[in-house]
Amino acid sequence: MEAERAEKTRMMTEDYSLFYGDFKALNNINIKIPTNKITAFIGPSGCGKSTLLRSFNRMNDLIPGVTTAGTIFLDGRNVAREDVVELRKKVGMVFQRPNPFPKSIFDNVAYGPRLHGTKNRSDLAVIVEKSLKRAALWEEVKDDLHKSGMSLSGGQQQRLCIARAIAIEPEVILMDEPASALDPVATLKIEELMNVLKRNYTIAIVTHNMQQAGRVSDYTAFMLTDEKRAGNLIELGPTKQIFTTPSDSRTEDYISGRFG
Amino acid sequence: MSRESFDRELQELKRNLFQITSEVRKNLTASVKYLEKRDMQGAAMIIESDEIVNLKCLEIEEQCLNIIATQQPVATDLRLLFSVLQISTEIERIGDYAKGIARISQKIGPGELIKPLLSIPRMEEIAGEMLDDAIRAFTEDDETAARNIPARDLQIDVLYNQVHRELITFIMEKPSNIEQTMMLDWIAHNIERVGDRVVNICERVIFTVTGVPVDLN
């Protein structure tokens, strides 16, 4: 608890609710995402964890009929009032299925920085190398930067997407089941990478794999739908505690497989 | 995710632990009974039976490892498995104390004891009941019982000190009694240790139920 209090908060929600039309999908979520830590969101399908994750960089803005209540803060600033392009520069996202652009490895990583105004080829080369190194992919692709990003293996493609996300120097990386489409070896590589990345970035990850949440995260948030099918945050705590002595019996039931 | 087979495995594990505890409990009581009766054959039977207890403890350990490897238990399940591993070690050691008493009894030989035994059987009686209650507390997740049982260990300690002093007096009165006296002291010490082991089991019960490690010794 002491350590928890000492931590800085990168993102925070305050009484945040999200509606699809009349349907309330997220109910009054209050959560803090600590800086330079990995926070994992677990819970059964449909509990709203991906919806919440996508709220952090306003990806839900694109869905028709979505309205929200409450506030989400990034470094104390209301994300709803930020310029959305700037926000997504600060809060990057990695998806379940690797989705490289049909471009070269170099151009995939250089895409974001170019969009944000870096035109100089040698500056871009520096960013590409640094990002690929941070994504633990550099050694594998440094001689093939001109090759298509699509030619890489699934695990490499996902690391390329991570490199692409970090090329624009975000503060937060959101990962929506980043390893669920990968084999165990590629999964472990991504998990190791996350552990390195958290030195520089704040990470929030949605995962269905509880062992993965246990292995990689510092904090775990458990979400569950209520009787009206709205997603609620049930418990947030240090991962070690959630997996050994959760305070809420619903968390215990879920992680022990007595539920869902 | 189906828990049926997992729950079945956990139940079987608890059953096996209960079974070896009964075996050990029987041996403990018998060890003192055969000591009183000077039954050498009985003592030999206890020593033999302890081999089976040891093997069953290894089986429990293997069962726990298999469950951990295949079911990836968390929270209460994980604490339960961890506690079963620890409790089975405590039971195995209590079994060793019973075997130790049988061995000493054999060393003393079939002749008469220097004195009729009073406190030692009483110590065994208390320790045996504590063991019964502790394992029941474990199978029933009874935290309150687990917290109350250790108080009885004090009675064992008091009796042990009494036996110890009494035996010293015996040596002072008749130094030729020294060998048997020391052996009886050793036996009393074994039973005193049983009480401590049962207290450890109670600690594991509380940990399993609450998740909080406690030191009751």
Average pLDDT of span A149-155? 95
Q: Is the pLDDT of residue A246 over 60?
A: yes
Q: Is the pLDDT of residue A114 over 60?
A: yes
Within 13 Å and on the Cβ side, how many CA atoms surround B124? 23
- Using the Cβ of A237 and the Cβ atoms of chain B, whether some distance falls under 8 Å is answered with no
Q: Is the pLDDT of residue A5 over 70?
A: no
Contacts of A141 (CB under 8 A, 6+ apart): A105, A132, A147, A152, A156, A160
Both tokens of residue A148? 């298509």
Q: A-B interface: how many C-beta pairs under 8 angstroms?
A: 34
Instruction: Look at residue A3 in the predicted model and tell me its pLDDT.
Output: 47
Instruction: Look at residue B2 in the predicted model and tell me its pLDDT.
Output: 59
Q: What is the mean pLDDT of each run of 10 residues along chain B (217 residues)?
A: 81 95 98 97 97 96 92 92 97 98 96 92 98 96 97 97 95 92 97 98 96 92
Q: Quick one: which H or E segment has residue A215?
A: helix A210-216
Average pLDDT of span A242-257? 93
Would you give the end-to-end CA distance of chain B in angstroms? 40
Q: Which residue of B has its CA nearest to A44?
A: B1
User: Domain limits of chain B?
Assistant: 4-210
Residue among B2, B3, B75 whose CB faces A246 most closely = B75
Q: Is the pLDDT of residue A1 over 80?
A: no
Instruction: Look at residue A6 in the predicted model and tell me its pLDDT.
Output: 65
User: pTM of the prediction?
Assistant: 0.81
Tracing tokens 């093939």 back to the chain, one arrives at A144
Classify the C-alpha dihedral A128-A130-A136-A141 as positive or negative.
positive
- Local confidence band at A230 (pLDDT 50, 70, 90 cut-offs): very high
Q: Considering only CA atoms, which of A12, A55, A75, A83 is closest in space to residue A176?
A: A55
Mapping DSSP onto H, E and C, the string for B27-62 reads HHHHHHHHHHHCCHHHHHHHHHHHHHHHHHHHHHHH
Q: Is the pLDDT of residue A223 over 90?
A: yes
- DSSP 8-state secondary structure symbol assigned to residue B112: P
- Using the Cβ of B211 and the Cβ atoms of chain A, whether some distance falls under 8 Å is answered with yes
Q: Quick one: which H or E segment has residue A141?
A: helix A138-141
The mean of the pLDDT values for chain A is 93
A211 vs B72: CB contact, 8 Å cut-off?
A: yes
- Using the Cβ of B109 and the Cβ atoms of chain A, whether some distance falls under 8 Å is answered with no
Instruction: Look at residue A106 in the predicted model and tell me its pLDDT.
Output: 97
Please provide the DSSP assignment of B136-193 as one string: HHHHTT-HHHHHHTTHHHHHHHHHHHHHHHHHHHHHHH-GGGHHHHHHHHHHHHHHHH
Neighbours of B196 (CB within 10 A): 18
Q: Is the pLDDT of residue A2 over 70?
A: no
Neighbours of A137 (CB within 10 A): 24
Interface pTM, i.e. ipTM: 0.70
CA distances from A118 to A110, A124, A170 (A): 9, 7, 15
For residues A151 and A147, give the distance between their C-alpha atoms in angstroms, rounded to a whole number. 7
- Give residue B31's identity as a one-letter amino acid code: S
CB-CB neighbors (< 8 A) of A260 in chain B: 1
Instruction: Look at residue B217 in the predicted model and tell me its pLDDT.
Output: 82
In this structure, the dihedral spanned by the alpha carbons of residues A31, A35, A36 and A40, taken in order and rounded to 10 degrees, is 0
CA distances from B193 to B23, B51, B188, B197 (A): 18, 20, 9, 6
Residue among B74, B210, B212 whose CB faces A256 most closely = B74
Q: Is the pLDDT of residue A12 over 80?
A: yes
- Using the Cβ of A243 and the Cβ atoms of chain B, whether some distance falls under 8 Å is answered with yes
Instruction: Look at residue A257 in the predicted model and tell me its pLDDT.
Output: 87
- Using the Cβ of A244 and the Cβ atoms of chain B, whether some distance falls under 8 Å is answered with yes
- Using the Cβ of A257 and the Cβ atoms of chain B, whether some distance falls under 8 Å is answered with yes
Instruction: Look at residue B1 in the predicted model and tell me its pLDDT.
Output: 42
B1 vs A255: CB contact, 8 Å cut-off?
A: no
Instruction: Look at residue B72 in the predicted model and tell me its pLDDT.
Output: 87
- Local confidence band at A243 (pLDDT 50, 70, 90 cut-offs): very high
CB-CB neighbors (< 8 A) of B3 in chain A: 256-258
For residues B206 and B174, give the distance between their C-alpha atoms in angstroms, rounded to a whole number. 47
Q: Is the pLDDT of residue A32 over 90?
A: yes
What is the CATH architecture assignment of B4-210?
Up-down Bundle (1.20)
Instruction: Look at residue A146 in the predicted model and tell me its pLDDT.
Output: 97
* Least Cα separation, residue A255 to chain B (angstroms): 7
- Using the Cβ of B69 and the Cβ atoms of chain A, whether some distance falls under 8 Å is answered with no
Contact A46, A225 (CB under 8 A): yes
Question: Is the CATH code 3.30.420.10 the one for domain A2-99+172-255?
Answer: no
Contacts of A217 (CB under 8 A, 6+ apart): A38, A39, A40, A205, A239
Q: Estimate to the nearest angstrom the gap between the alpha carbon of B33 and the chain centroid.
A: 16
Neighbours of B97 (CB within 10 A): 23
Neighbours of B37 (CB within 10 A): 13
Instruction: Look at residue B47 in the predicted model and tell me its pLDDT.
Output: 97
CB-CB neighbors (< 8 A) of A217 in chain B: none
